[in-house]
Amino acid sequence: METSAELLTPRRTTRQITVGKVQVGGGAPISVQSMTTTKTADVEGTLQQIYQLAAAGADIVRCTCNKAEAAEGLAQIVPRSPVPIVADIHFHVEMALAALEAGVDGLRLNPGNLRKASEIKLVAQEAKDRGVPIRIGVNAGSLHPDLYERFGGATPEALVESARMELAYFREVGFDDVKISVKASSVALMIAAYRLASETFDYPLHLGVTEAGPLPGGLLKGTAGIATLLAEGIGDTIRYSLTADPVEEARAGRMLLESMGLRERKGLDLIACPSCGRAEVDVIAVANAAQEALKDRNLPIQIAVMGCVVNGPGEARDADLGIAAGKHRGHLFIKGEVVRVVKEDEMVEALVEEAERLVAEGVEARLAAKDPKAAAAAEQDRLALLDEKGADANQAQVKIDSIRRKTDR
């Protein structure tokens, strides 16, 4: 059986660069990035946030370097960080040079803001001498005015041309340790720009919808753009740009990659049915309670919360573990096989307990320990629910016979 990743378009082949100890491109796992919101000069506060981001799934973290105090902070942060640190540079070449001196693992330069060719080449030469990669971070909102006028606005072609021009400066000093982003706040523009960039460059691409906004809209826009491109085999590293706690960015990035089969699962994936008239419990309440009880346990499994036993275990048979409601009882199942029946008010507690045992002991051991009466009890509840609420399902064969008579089959 094919894995989720194998069902997607194969990833395009790119060059590989190394940011600290994290490989980007060239077939390396797609990495998750985020950015601190603290003042970089606040060393302890910034480090605390970096550790939170790393715990949430960030592989690389970016910090602003807009002042001398920020560069001095980076000199203290970099050696204590659990993940590689990239310095974000906008207008001042001095800050790029200071960040390199501080020992950062990477730079991000915005071509629309740092515009002098001599300064761009100076930074590239210094980065080359230190073995530090640079992201060419093109942004639709800060294109060079000449490009904006030349292309009639922030078009995909304008964004890619901005990256190409920056790359030309780098090549003049023999520097090609590069990754590229062509971000926009418009999802459609972002997708089109990255598609063109993937046809134009063989450098690794950093995906993101910039200025996506607060939750939930920002999360939806980010996912729409990033997931579309990943499904097409485009992208080597990603960042959600949310107006929210950056931990939400890291968590969302990790969950997206895991859900698409592009990274090994390290955290919980809780799925739940949308509920219907057959549901015997408040599915939303049970799912939320399960999510809250399990969120900090970091169990690398998929868990399903289903509203009834009519279809629940079958529809969620691929889940590692699940629970379905039926006649004031919960039916706990592993890989679609019912293993225990518990009281309704014990559903969440039983689910958490079994999840921890499943991770510790494995699927086969937990199936071997199942209650031999559980399957019969679940079937009894299923039939009772069909009689009570599944009249349409019970009449299926009658309808099929009628259809066959009308079509002379």
What pTM value is reported for the model? 0.85
Same domain, 90 and 13: yes
Q: Comparing C-alpha atoms, which of 89, 63, 88, 67 is closest to residue 77?
A: 63
Task: Tell whether 154 is covered by a domain.
Answer: yes
Same domain, 168 and 242: yes
Find where tokens 């990255």 sit. Answer: 194
Task: Tell whether 153 is covered by a domain.
Answer: yes
Structure tokens, 222: 């980010």
Same domain, 106 and 216: yes
Residue 309's pLDDT is what? 66
Residue 115's pLDDT is what? 83
Q: Comparing C-alpha atoms, which of 320, 307, 309, 322 is closest to residue 380?
A: 309
Same domain, 235 and 289: no
Asked if 126 contacts 80 with a C-beta cutoff of 8 angstroms, the reply is no
CATH number at residue 336: 3.30.413.10
**Ranges of residues in the chain whose predicted pLDDT is under 50:** 391, 393-394
Same domain, 255 and 279: no
Helix (H, G, I), strand (E, B) or coil at 320: coil
Residue 133's identity, in one-letter code, is P
Residue 393's pLDDT is what? 47
Residue 85's identity, in one-letter code, is I
Q: Give the number of C-alpha atoms closer than 13 A to the C-alpha of residue 47, restricted to the C-beta side.
A: 13
Domain containing 333: what range? 269-393
Same domain, 274 and 231: no
- State the Cα–Cα distance between residues 265 and 298, nearest whole angstrom: 10
Domain count, the chain: 2
Q: Which of 214, 232, 259 is the last residue of a domain?
A: 259
Task: Tell whether 402 is covered by a domain.
Answer: no
Asked if 347 contacts 330 with a C-beta cutoff of 8 angstroms, the reply is yes
- State the Cα–Cα distance between residues 243 and 71, nearest whole angstrom: 25
Residue 402's pLDDT is what? 75
- State the Cα–Cα distance between residues 385 and 122, nearest whole angstrom: 73
Residue 113's pLDDT is what? 83
Residue 383's pLDDT is what? 77
Strand partners, 136: 109, 180
Same domain, 23 and 104: yes
Same domain, 234 and 278: no
Structure tokens, 162: 């901005």
Task: Tell whether 354 is covered by a domain.
Answer: yes
- State the Cα–Cα distance between residues 74 and 47, nearest whole angstrom: 10
Same domain, 248 and 307: no
Respond yes or no on whether the N-terminal peptide bond of residue 214 is cis (omega within 30° of 0).
Answer: no
H helices within 173-282, ranges in order? 187-200, 217-231, 246-259
- State the Cα–Cα distance between residues 337 and 344, nearest whole angstrom: 19
